[in-house]
Amino acid sequence: RASAELPCLRRKRGAPTAMGLFFCGGASSSLSSKVAGVSTGLGMLWGMLYVLGFQKKAVKEWLSVHAQVAKLLVKHELEAQAATKLAWRDRLRRFGELVFLCSIERVRLLEVARARRLYPEDSSACYRLNPLKHVRTHRQLSQHQKSPKQEVKDMMMKHARAASVPVVREVVLVGGGHAHVHVVRMLGMEPVPGVRVTLISKDIETPYSGMLPGHVAGFYSRDECHVDLQKLARFARVRVVKGEVVRVDWKNKKVLFKGDDRPPVPYDVLSLNVGITPDRVTEAVTPVKPIAKFSKAWDDLLETKIKNWGSGSLGKNRRYDVVVVGGGAGGVELALAMRNRVREELRKLGKSPDLARFSLLTRGDRILSSHSEGVRICMERALRDRQVEVVANCEALEVKESLAGGPLGGGGGGHGTVSGTPPSKKTLACRFAWAPEKVRELPFDECIWCTQAAAPWFLRSSGLATDDAGFLRVDEFQRVGLAASEDEDQDAVLTKSRAELGIFAVGDCATVDGYPRPKAGVFAVMAGMALYQNVVAKILEQPLTPHFPQKSFLGLVGLGDGDCVASRGLLAFQAPWLWDLKDWIDRKWMWQYTHGLPDLTLADDDPADIFESMTPTSSGESSSKRQKKKTVFDAAPGGLELLKKSPMRCGGCGAKVGATTLARAMSAMPRPPPRSEKEEEIYKVLVGVDAPDDGAVVAYNNNNNNNNASGGTPLIHSVDFFRSFADDPYLLGRVAANHALSDCEAMGAKPATALAIAVLPYGSDRVVEHDLLALMRGVRKTLDDAGCELVGGHTCEGSEMSVGLSVTGVVVVDPKNKASANTDAATKQLLSKGGLRPGDVLVLTKALGTGCILAADMRAKASWPAVEKTYESMLQSNKAAADVLASHDCSACTDVTGFGLVGHLAEMCRASEGAAVDLDLKAVPLLPTAQDLAAAGLFSSLQPDNLRAKRAVKNHSTLVAEASPVDVAKYSLLFDPQTAGGLLATVNARDAHSTIHRLKAAGFQHAAIIGNVASANDPNAFPASITVRF
């Protein structure tokens, strides 16, 4: 450190060091060199004394860890020498592997000790102190450690700059594999201006394969071993599309989806990380791959099937046979994990753990054929000790209906049989190596398929080059080529097409030419950084980075009970501390993509820095002067507060102007000029801005002989328009159309026609064309389902995507009632906001919380299950609910949208000339996690404006002061702006329960009675008097 600060102490090439001079002496006759050496030595001695004096605890930890590691090293080396006799070369190789393993354990112990010392109350500190070497996110991006707040600000500045330029290139990532999650995170930290990234995946919660056995054994919850791609993508500003890809159109550079509704997604650079699919399986067995499907099946087994074990027609002695097919490391580890978890669950239920029996089928004569002999011995002993029966030399063929009871179809006495099994509904047809001419049947209750899976079929059918097993052939740059025809040279076609296609592939779906490797998640993890570099290099037309998969890797195979076996080369031993090491490695990797993501809400604290970063500096102006320079936001009253809110303004109905601001603006509008008698003959406004409802009602004179428009046909007009809240334009179009149709449906009218308006960000023609097509396909999908015809529209460019529709509805005239053809009679069929009657009950058809969840989703704080339920709610049409309400004695109805439940209920009270309403807070349905997010303070940007409606709540102050925090959080959601929300209606109390029953039958599972009308047409309650019971 001194030599770095003092040039005179820097050593020239070939000169002796100062420490060498100090300890050796006489190396130079120069007095100045000796003085420098003595000074340096004394400085180092003082530094050591300082460390020993003030860092005693750290030094003690360091010494303790190294002593512990040395003890482990000696212990396991002596045990290995006693267990197996190897040649001295093999002994050296094995010892080298043991040193490598102990070095990792040393790092773990040091990090755990440091985390406990620095952050004693933070149990996750040991996962975030230092990233793993192959996950170099932080270390690559900056040389100096930044604070979390500064890291988020820097990232937001980069995203702001990237968003300020038009999109000209498209990167599409198909699959949510281990490599792609790293690419997404890196692109979030370092966005590329002008590039839009789209992640396409069938499952938005993608499991980490390394933690699956631990999850099965009960060591990890579902959330702990799954990466939420929605959260990750929101953090990285990456568009997410939930869908299944069925073909890659490499000629037109498009990705095609299953089904005809969603249009293809174009790409300039494509990456495939789609994993593998089960091979030769039926509905009767549960394949391990894809892992997401297995995870759901496992949850179902624990939650439903296990509770019925030992009961039924076979009585308490009924055995439940679980068969795992596959003798590799995955099958062995999974069998042990399942056995431990199932026995534990049976004990909790007060049942005998021996009710469940486990068998492992392998085609070879022994398990773990690709591992060393020492590993096989360890795992065979573990299976034997835990009573998992191994059936060797057994090839599983197919599943059949049970023909006979007993072991292996009643053959009896066979090699590796499962004895004493009662008749089962399903049997597994097997062929044994010692009797290949005869197929025997193995009864089972649950069969887990853990053999080698196949590549997705669309890879080969798309014309891409694959090997004999169907896996993509890639080169050292991870590039995919085309399959050659019979008369073409495959190598020449591959070389040329790999350079031109712009398609990459990693993970289990690909095989590197010349480097065959087993299908293991570690190779996808290690390929993630190289893939990120190559994708960016391909976009920028720069040289690619080669990546060669490692020859060997450390395998830590869990035994399901906290014990573990290490496997690397000739190294093989069993120890409990290996499970702690495996747990640390897995959690550390997961931390980078889950809880370790930067907190986007930190950027809300001081948005002026982000604004200043976008402001160009004057020439010659120093950064310090620039930081002190005031902006217009400092001078304007409330300017900084507005700036703070601007980056996270909500879309959907959360983007509406507040009700108070809207009312003030509309009240200042001049009254419209009176219309002439001739105009009155043409049309008449029955419901307009003077008495607003969900839609305007206008009667048109359709009879030339009738001089009064009141006798014409009444039409309902409504309009909705909002900013995007979803990155997927197809999904945005569907929700926007459903939201726009809701106004007509709430009034009991039939949507007939619609005009659309779309605002699209400026970009290349190809990008704009796709976005417009996807947006309008989504709109058309919803309109077509509702029987509403799109008759025109308008488009324009803007800073962000927005969409709106103007809908015209008609009153459905009852053909049996001729009087209903009259305008007055037809208008009476419509439902309105007014008309509350004392004694009626309030019915809400959908759960609340869309605004809160979408706001949390913007900040990468909402989980995918909650977001998925929110989208399902927003896509559910109100048409069926409106029909149910119209068939009952419904007196008033409206849809709950931007102003929240309280805001729209207050409108109903005002339209009823003043009404008093009692609201039951406990009865109000909420979407999953909405209450937790509200308690955490995650609200829509429209929430403060909606809270002004609290003056309509009679007991607001009492509730806030006396209610529990849980009730206060739920109460705040009564003001939450809803996008495509449900209907709020009043029905006769006698029909209330019948109405709820029919609504639930129509698919509105959250429909509930939430209150009652105490009085109506009440001047003392004008405009609204709402009492919330809590």
Tell me which residue has tokens 């009865």.
923
**Residue 946 and residue 981 in contact, taking contact as beta carbons nearer than 8 Å:** no
**Residue 733 and residue 778 in contact, taking contact as beta carbons nearer than 8 Å:** yes
DSSP code for 363: S
The rounded distance, in Å, linking the Cα atoms of 895 and 326 is 55
Catalytic residue among 378, 653, 744, 893: 653
| 857 token code pair | 């989703």
Question: Which residues does 85 contact at the CB level (< 8 Å), separation at least 6?
Answer: none
Question: Is 24 part of the annotated catalytic residue set?
Answer: no
The rounded distance, in Å, linking the Cα atoms of 452 and 325 is 10
> What residue type is 521 in one-letter code?
G
C-alpha torsion 174→176→177→182, nearest 10: 100
DSSP for 800-848 reads: S-EEEEEEEEE----TT-GGGGSHHHHHHTS--S----TT-EEEE-S-B
Alpha-helical runs (H) found in 564-658: 576-591, 608-613, 623-628, 632-635, 639-645
Question: Which residues does 827 contact at the CB level (< 8 Å), separation at least 6?
Answer: 686, 697, 699, 714, 811
Q: Which of 329, 557, 560 lies closest to 452 in space, CA to CA?
A: 329
Q: Which of 305, 623, 590 lies closest to 445 in space, CA to CA?
A: 305
Its sign, for the CA torsion 196, 201, 205, 211, is negative
CA angle 929, 933, 158 (to 5 degrees): 120
| 619-635 burial: b if 16+ Cβ within 10 Å, else e | eeeeeeeeeeeeeebee
**E-strand stretches of 874-1007:** 890-895, 915-920, 983-987
Question: Which residues does 355 contact at the CB level (< 8 Å), separation at least 6?
Answer: 309, 310, 318, 319, 320, 346
The rounded distance, in Å, linking the Cα atoms of 799 and 245 is 30
| Distance set, CA 611 to CA 233, 606, 627, 655 (Å) | 24, 10, 11, 22
The rounded distance, in Å, linking the Cα atoms of 343 and 336 is 11
DSSP for 667-696 reads: HTSPPPPPPPHHHHHHEEEEE-TTS--SSE
Catalytic residues: 653
